[in-house]
Structure 1
Amino acid sequence: MRIALFITCLNDTLFPGTGRAVVTVLERLGHTVDFPREQTCCGQMHFNTGYRGEAVPLVTRFVRAFASYDAVVTPSASCAGMVRESHPVLANGHGQPWLRQQVAELVPRVHEFTEFLTDVLGVTDVGASFPHKVVYHPTCHSLRGLRLGDRPLQLLRAVRGIDLVDLPSADSCCGFGGTFAIKNAETSSAMLADKTDEVLSTAADVLCAADNSCLMHIGGGLSRRGTRVRTMHLAEILAATEGTV
Structure 2
Amino acid sequence: MSKKVITSLLTLPVELVYRILDNLDELSILLSIRNVCTRLNAITDTYHRYQTMSALDLKFRKIHDQTIKCLVTVLHTNKTLTTLDLAQNYISIEGAQYLMIFLKINTILTILHLNWNKIGTEGVQYLANALYKNTTLKVLDLGGNCIGDEGARYLANALKNNTTLTALILCENRITAEGAYHLANGLRDNTVLKILDLAHNRIDNETTQLIANALQNNTVGHILPIYYVFIIIAQCRH
Q: Give yes or no for TM over 0.5.
A: no
Structure number with greater Rg is 2
Query: Greater RCO between the two (CA within 8 Å, min separation 6)?
Result: 1
TM-score norm. by structure 2 comes to 0.30
TM-score norm. by structure 1 comes to 0.29
